[in-house]
């Protein structure tokens, strides 16, 4: 019996996968965003992605997690988070200069791919890659533990959730959202998104949504994304571990802890989708539409040879070198990985 049981457990673990917000969270962020795209932005995104289905953003929302798990994509692992070196629950704050590592972070990646996606000189493949990174990373940024260095974003905080031995990070990414929705398929994500859209349109989020995007500008992606990261990071002190991490290790997180945080998870998914939709509209209106309009003029009036060469690789320009902090050393030890939710086992 044992081998059968083990292989079942293994295949179950493999289907659960390793994700950041899990695939459910990312697809939900994508469906919420799709709802807010203008028809011009939507047509542009569908063209870039070569996908005219009704799930064009949701279909690629977790691509960056799959890519990161490959040998070729390992370099992109740091783009999924920013390790805020704060001191929760006493102090929470994000400092881009302090916290964005030498190999880049979510915020520098948003800067890079926002510029690249509307560059117009990149190959079709690189433009598509830039859009896929943006759809994913703007989602990750709203998960509070993706904006936190403490215990590798909670990956090293062992907890029990609903009878399973988990880590806190994967419960936030995957298991608590799935507990709420009861599945992780695209149709689960679509129906979760529909209910969040209703909350934004006429429900509990209606009065907040304008603030979620207040000041967002593609002319300053670092300031904009740092504001998003700081907003999510603040929840680490107030909601994720208001009494410190040890308080989360004294019993099952279900149902009391789950009930205390699930509203924040829903809020952050809604916010991520709303921001992503607005960001892509801004990219379209300030970049793509103007570029297309001016393309002919530019060709006539500017010598194309004087334009700077676009980066030929898809990587960020690294920040200045500095010695690694304790949290960064811990990330290195994890091989740049983010989440270890694929090895889930029932608590003994």
Residues identified as active-site: 21, 26, 65, 68, 80, 136, 140, 146, 169, 173
> Is there a contact between 21 and 58 (Cβ–Cβ < 8 Å)?
no
In the block, residue with structure tokens 């509307």 = 118
Burial of 42 (0-12, 13-18, 19+ CB in 10 A): buried
Q: Which is nearer to Zn ion, 192 or 205 (CB)?
A: 192
Question: Collapsing DSSP states into helix, strand and coil, what is residue 158?
Answer: strand
CB of 269 to Zn ion, least distance (A): 13
The window from 46-54, 72-80, 101-109, 283-291 that contacts Zn ion (CB under 5 A) reads 72-80
As a whole number of angstroms, the distance between CA 234 and CA 75 comes to: 28
Copy the structure tokens of residue 340: 């270890």
Stretch of 16-24, 102-110, 219-227, 257-265 contacting Zn ion, by CB under 5 A: 16-24
Query: In whole angstroms, what is the distance from residue 339 CA to residue 161 CA?
Result: 16
From 136-144, 222-230, 297-305, 308-316, span contacting Zn ion (CB under 5 A): 136-144
Buried b or exposed e, range 134-146, using 16+ CB within 10 angstroms: bbbbbbbbbbbbb
Closer by beta carbon to Zn ion, 133 or else 274: 133
Q: What mask, x for binding Zn ion by CB under 5 A, covers residues 95 to 134?
A: ----------------------------------------
Residue 339 interacting with Zn ion (CB under 5 A): yes
Query: Which residues within the stretch 309-328 sit at the binding site for Zn ion (CB under 5 A)?
Result: none
Nearest approach in angstroms of CB 325 to Zn ion is: 20
Residue placing its CB nearer to Zn ion in the complex, 80 or 116: 80
The sheet carrying 158-161 orders its strands as 158-161, 164-167, 345-346
Q: Which residue has the tokens 């960064």?
A: 328
Q: Give least dist CB 30 to Zn ion, A.
A: 13
Nearest approach, Cβ of residue 8 and Zn ion (Å): 26
Phi-psi region of 38 (alpha: psi -120 to 50; beta: other; left: phi over 0): beta
Q: Are 239 and 268 in contact (CB under 8 A)?
A: no
Which residues lie across from 87 on neighbouring strands?
A: 91
Q: How far is CA 325 from CA 35, 97, 105, 220, 287, in A?
A: 41, 13, 15, 27, 37
Contacts of Zn ion in 153-182 (CB under 5 A): 173
Sign, CA torsion 88/90/95/97: negative
Q: Rank residues 42 and 111 by Cβ distance to Zn ion and give the closer one.
A: 111
How many residues bind Zn ion (CB under 5 A)? The answer is 6
> What tokens does 308 get?
């700077």
Residue 89 or 144 having the CB closest to Zn ion: 144
The two three-digit tokens of residue 170, written as one number: 């994967």
Q: Does 20 bind Zn ion (CB under 5 A)?
A: yes
Which residues between 252 and 311 bind Zn ion (CB under 5 A)?
A: none
C-beta of residue 263 within 8 angstroms of C-beta of residue 94: no
Residue nearest to Zn ion (CB): 20
Q: Which two tokens stand for residue 319?
A: 């920040």
Residues 210-239 binding Zn ion (CB under 5 A) are: none
Binding segment toward Zn ion, per CB under 5 A, in 53-61, 77-85, 114-122, 309-317: 77-85
CB nearer to Zn ion: give 269 or 338.
338
Q: At closest approach, how far in Å is the CB of 109 from Zn ion?
A: 10
CB of 227 to Zn ion, least distance (A): 20
| Nearest CB to Zn ion, comparing residues 200 and 327 | 327
Q: Single out the residue of 18, 41, 80, 327 in contact with Zn ion (rule: CB under 5 A).
A: 80
Q: How far is the CB of 101 from Zn ion (least distance, A)?
A: 16
Q: Determine the angle formed by the axes of helices 256-283 and 106-117, rounding to 10 degrees.
A: 30
Q: Name the site residues for Zn ion (rule: CB under 5 A).
A: 20, 80, 140, 173, 338-339
């Amino acid at each position: 019996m044992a081998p059968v049981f083990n292989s079942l457990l293994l295949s179950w673990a493999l289907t659960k996968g390793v994700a950041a917000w899990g695939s459910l969270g990312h697809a939900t962020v994508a469906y919420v965003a799709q709802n807010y795209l203008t028809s011009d932005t939507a047509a542009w995104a569908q063209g870039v992605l070569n996908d005219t289905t009704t799930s064009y953003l949701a279909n690629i929302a977790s691509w960056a997690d799959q890519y990161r798990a490959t040998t070729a994509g390992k370099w992109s692992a740091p783009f999924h988070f920013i390790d805020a070196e704060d001191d929760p629950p006493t102090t929470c704050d994000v400092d881009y200069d302090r916290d964005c590592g030498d190999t880049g972070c979510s915020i520098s990646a948003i800067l890079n791919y926002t510029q690249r996606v509307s560059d117009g000189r990149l190959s079709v493949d690189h433009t598509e890659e830039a859009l896929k990174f943006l759809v994913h990373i703007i989602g990750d940024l709203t998960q509070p533990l993706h904006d936190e260095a403490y215990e590798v974003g909670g990956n090293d905080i062992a907890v029990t959730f609903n009878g399973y031995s988990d880590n806190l990070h994967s419960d936030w990414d995957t298991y608590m959202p799935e507990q709420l929705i009861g599945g992780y398929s695209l149709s689960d994500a679509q129906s979760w998104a529909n209910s969040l859209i209703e909350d934004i349109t006429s429900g509990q989020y209606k009065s907040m949504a304008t603030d979620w995007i207040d000041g967002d500008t593609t002319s300053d992606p670092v300031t904009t994304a740092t504001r998003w990261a700081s907003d999510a990071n603040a929840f680490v002190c107030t909601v994720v571990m208001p009494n410190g991490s040890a308080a989360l290790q004294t019993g099952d997180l279900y149902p009391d802890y789950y009930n205390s945080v699930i509203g924040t998870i829903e809020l952050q998914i809604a916010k991520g989708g709303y921001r992503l939709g607005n960001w892509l509209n801004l990219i379209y209106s300030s970049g793509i539409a103007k570029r297309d309009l001016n393309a002919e003029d530019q060709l006539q009036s500017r010598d194309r040879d004087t334009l700077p060469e676009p980066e030929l690789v898809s990587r960020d320009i690294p920040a200045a070198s500095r010695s690694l902090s304790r949290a960064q050393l811990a990330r290195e030890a994890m091989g740049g990985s983010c989440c270890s939710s694929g090895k889930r086992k029932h608590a003994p």
